[in-house]
Structure 1
């Protein structure tokens, strides 16, 4: 069996972020044959500007593009900020979508999970991340999204939450873009 590499974009920059902890837990408990690589340095990306995205791009952008380009899948683990995805995540998707039609995210299976301490669990942020990634050319697996409310449940310890997150990861990893042929 070949190894599946999953690039993980974490939408929160806080070192003690619950979403970072979820990403680390998923990485540490990844199924056999799956490697999750948390993409570090999103905060180092300048805001996307076509004028600085030419023959030479900022080092952080080149590094992050390279890491995502070498992955087989992309998983976003993010909270919700003011009813949408965090700016750092939106900016990363902008960088990964370029050059137009050939960006590092193009044709990559893409899924979003995460938690926010609201009754909605980040649902709007996750929908916005999916929409943006879809427009950028990713293969968005919308039915894989897990938007977990972080109210009255310890998302790191709750078995039901962890099962949903592991199932989402498994669906992303198992995604087969080839249509099945009817026999």
Structure 2
């Protein structure tokens, strides 16, 4: 983290960051974590949580006359400066709802709304490896979509079921410090890679 801070550039934001949570569960640990990350981020960031729950499954047959939900989603993502993905791991991969969102946003072919937007990936799980499989499967898709994902620091948050207090705040000072540093590093990453009009 010290190296990243030494190289930090003055921010020229504000930057609008879309937040994509891979869990639909009402009491989702990953949604709590996403909210905590937003609170720890530099003031130059404006965050928009992008709903992916209602997106119909991607079907190429419908590209000629896409569902309204696809259009609204693509219009929401296109002007974003950067992307923050926070996801659990399902069967060593990303939840289907998040993969579907990537597919919907990437089509029609040649009109991807993800193109070139800097991103960060955080995975969280009650298990010890913190969603490692989902984190790396997501990164594999982002490479193809030409989304530059921050490589370091990596964030696999294990024991996430014990991470929050009764108010939904991060209860562990060490974890809070790590996540604060993660968001500082992400700010630097966005400053280096975000496309400015």
Report if TM-score (shorter chain) is over 0.5.
Answer: yes
Match of 1:53 among 26, 48, 63: 63
Three-state SS of the structure 2 residue aligned to 1:103 is coil
Match of 1:123 among 108, 128, 132: 132
CA RMSD of aligned residues (A): 1.9
Match status 1:71 vs 2:80 = yes
Question: TM-score, normalised to structure 2's length?
Answer: 0.81
Give the gaps of 5 or more residues in structure 2. 1-11, 165-169
Q: 1:166 to 1:57 in 2, by over 3 A?
A: farther
Match of 1:30 among 26, 41, 53: 41
Question: TM-score, normalised to structure 1's length?
Answer: 0.87
Q: 1:116 to 1:60 in 2, by over 3 A?
A: same
Q: Check conservation: 2:117, 2:193, Cα contact below 8 A.
A: no
What pairs with 1:10-159 in structure 2 (closer than 5 Å)?
A: 10-40=21-51, 42-54=52-64, 56-150=65-159, 153-154=162-163, 156-159=170-173
Q: Hey, what's the Cα distance between the residues in 2 that align with 1:166 and 1:101?
A: 36
Q: How many residues are paired up?
A: 176
Q: Check conservation: 1:115, 1:122, Cα contact below 8 A.
A: yes
Q: Check conservation: 1:10, 1:77, Cα contact below 8 A.
A: yes
Compute the displacement of 1:114 (Å). 2.6
Give the gaps of 5 or more residues in structure 1. 179-183
Q: 1:2 to 1:48 in 2, by over 3 A?
A: same
- Quick one: higher RCO (CA 8 Å, sep 6+), 1 or 2? 2
Divergent runs of 4+, >4 A? none
Compute the displacement of 1:88 (Å). 0.5
